[in-house]
Structure 1
Amino acid sequence: MAPRAAVVDLDGTLLHGDTLLPGARDAMAAIRERVEHVVFLTNNPTIPPEAYAARLRDLGVEAAPDEILTACTATIAYLRAHHADDAVFAIAADAIVDQLRDAERDLVADPAAAECVVVGYDPGFDYDDLHAALRALRDGVGFVGTDPDRTIPTADGPIPGSGAIVNAVAGVVERDPDAVLGKPSRETAELLLDRLGVPAEQCVLIGDNPETDIVMGERVGMTTVRVRTGIDGGRRSENEERADHVVADLGAAAALLD
């Protein structure tokens, strides 16, 4: 296998939380020696690319902000393409709202003024937010989720993620979202390929999650490699059979690129 570009998932593949997985630093150096382009991919919508890149550099991993593609980055790109001038009401954590504001989206505090509603991870999500969603999501108002992850793995066990909140809102308004960004959405895959500037068949995607990483890579025709370093301990999935390669860790994935 001799790809021109590598897409590397972050949590569960390169990192566990704020800690590099064993051998990950050397593995990334080896991957960079073998490909022309690298992009790091994550469904975490709360951390901006600049902060992710700084975190990786502090850990000794080469990374630039334009090499980080997050679920919030993909959401902002979708809003620019489909809701460029719309008033946006966000049901999401402050860290997500801040990124929307920095991207110069027209944010409104009154749900009745919404022309598009963005729903994402929010540890403070409550009944009042569901009521606000009912007020905001009238006929013709856009409904966008940042990512589909129903749970987020942590050292203390899974916690509810963006997908759980998106599903709760969808249930109360009796309507599916117009789009849910992040992996494995086609919109995010297309944004990724545009950033890489390399045809999908010349890319390898390395990740630990069969339901998001592997499905997205397969969807656009990338070579897919599943690593067994995810916090689920490499639990088998029906989508695992769809991966082109299954290996122990990122170091083993790097060796495939020789």
Structure 2
Amino acid sequence: MTRYRGAILDVDGTLVRGNNGVPGASEAVRTLRNQGTNLLFFSNNPTQPPEHYVSRLAAADIAIDDANVLTSALVTAEFLEAEYEGHDALVVGEGYLSELLEERGFVVCEDPDDAELVVASIDREFDYDDLTAALWALEGDVPFVGTDPDVTIPVHERLVPGSGAIINAIAGVAGREPDHVLGKPSPDAGRAALSHLGVSAEDCLVVGDRLDTDIALGEEIGATTVLVRSGVTSPDVLAGSEIQPDHVIDSVREIDEVLAD
């Protein structure tokens, strides 16, 4: 049995690429489970509910339950419940995020003058009016929260703007940085992940393909980090980064090498 009682696994670039599973990913998940490791599948994508990942990973022969999934949207909702319960929120984001906050008891408002909280995230219909509404809502000391810092995200082998691009646009016109940016690699995301797993950081692996989110999250919480080369991080980027993983493997199919170390 491995000493790792828990593992936080990234999804895109680590277990799946687009609609296809990374070769060996299902075997790697089975290896971890056979070693007695509790698994949490953590995505910084704030636009989809857990059941989306259940279906998506099932197509890659990886069986999981809703309870095994954590996303930046869920981290954000949990954080807002704890810190800003009862605040009316102006949400710049896609439908799922607003629905999730409404389920948690928040009133999602359209009038920026009614906003007691601004939540910013990826929005593929983001426009000038949205930017203006956020600017007006932030004229006072209204809290400003972002779901995740990903400026770009991979789609069909190319990059497109992510939540970070929207958050940065709002921050630029408002002349202030967000009070909190949740999702990987924030401390709040780390605490939420460990709480969901029920393990301590020293007994946990963090496996992912991005240095600035996955590996940085592991460093933040003090877990053992594993970078997979199956995603976005090139050798040149790795060589020039201050963020360095504990292990580097070609893909998650080689996870048994980490477990045996």
TM-score interval, normalised by the smaller of the two chains:
over 0.9
Number of aligned residue pairs: give it: 258
Q: Is the 8 A contact 1:206 1:253 kept in 2?
A: no
Give per-residue Cα distances to partners, 1:49-92, cap 9 Å, x unaligned.
12212322243212111111101011101110111110011011
Runs ≥4 residues deviating over 3 A:
231-235, 238-241
For 1:118-197, list aligned pairs within 5 A.
Answer: 118-197=119-198
Aligned to 1:253: 255
For 1:107-122, list aligned pairs within 5 A.
Answer: 107-122=108-123
Q: Is the 8 A contact 2:185 2:216 kept in 1?
A: yes
Give how far 1:93 is off. Answer: 1.5
Q: Is the 8 A contact 1:111 1:133 kept in 2?
A: yes
Q: Distance in 1 between matches of 2:103 and 2:8?
A: 26
Report SS of the residue matched to 1:7: strand
Q: Is the 8 A contact 2:90 2:134 kept in 1?
A: no
Give per-residue Cα distances to partners, 1:210-241, cap 9 Å, x unaligned.
11111110111100010000045555334476
Q: Is the 8 A contact 1:120 1:145 kept in 2?
A: yes
Give per-residue Cα distances to partners, 1:85-137, cap 9 Å, x unaligned.
10011011123222222333221121110000100000111111111011111
Q: Distance in 2 between matches of 1:4 and 1:162?
A: 32
Instruction: Give the aligned residue type for 1:188.
Output: A
Computed over aligned residues only, the root mean square deviation of the Cα atoms, in angstroms, reads 1.6
Aligned to 1:203: 204
Q: Distance in 1 between matches of 2:5 and 2:242?
A: 24
| 2:249 is the alignment partner of 1:221 | no
Q: Distance in 1 between matches of 2:84 and 2:215?
A: 29
Residues 241 and 99 (structure 1), Cα distance of their counterparts in 2 relative to 1, 3 Å cut:
closer
Instruction: Give the aligned residue type for 1:202.
Output: D
Q: Distance in 2 between matches of 1:205 and 1:29?
A: 16
Instruction: Give the aligned residue type for 1:100.
Output: L
Instruction: Give the aligned residue type for 1:256.
Output: V
| 2:36 is the alignment partner of 1:14 | no
Instruction: Give the aligned residue type for 1:43.
Output: N
Report SS of the residue matched to 2:183: coil
Aligned to 1:2: 3
Give how far 1:200 is off. Answer: 0.3
Residues 99 and 19 (structure 1), Cα distance of their counterparts in 2 relative to 1, 3 Å cut:
farther
Give per-residue Cα distances to partners, 1:128-181, cap 9 Å, x unaligned.
111101111132211000100000112251111100000000000001101001
Aligned to 1:43: 44
Q: Is the 8 A contact 1:208 1:234 kept in 2?
A: no
